[in-house]
Amino acid sequence: MAVVRPTFETEETASSHGDRVRALQAETLAVTHDHITALAEAIERMTVLADEIAVGGATYPQSVKDIARRLSQEAPVASRTLRATLTRF
């Protein structure tokens, strides 16, 4: 069995750890931003689909049209809120 002596961090090692932490934090922030953007875009696509169904005529059951109408009214607010959040992010 070998004895491993503890090593003490030098200023250089501590600095490189700090740099790595900052780089990982920046990467995490970028990925988070992209993920929120993807959610806003998905909501916007869903809004278009909901609009189409809401005015789809007798082909769709009334309950489905009602849900689609509510979604098409409420979803744009969610998308705008997400995008506004990104500007402060």
Residue 4 lies in a domain: no
In a domain, residue 74? The reply is yes
How would you class 46 by CB atoms within 10 Å of its CB: exposed for 0-12, middle for 13-18, buried for 19 or more?
A: middle
Residue 75 CB neighbours (<10 A): 20
Please check whether residue 23 lies inside any domain of the structure.
no
Encode the chain (89 residues) as per-residue pLDDT tens digits: 677 676 666 566 667 989 999 999 999 999 999 999 999 999 999 999 999 999 998 999 999 999 999 999 999 999 999 999 999 87
pLDDT in tens, 51-71: 999 999 899 999 999 999 999
Specify the number of domains making up the chain: 1
- Does residue 50 contact residue 72 with C-beta atoms inside 8 Å? yes
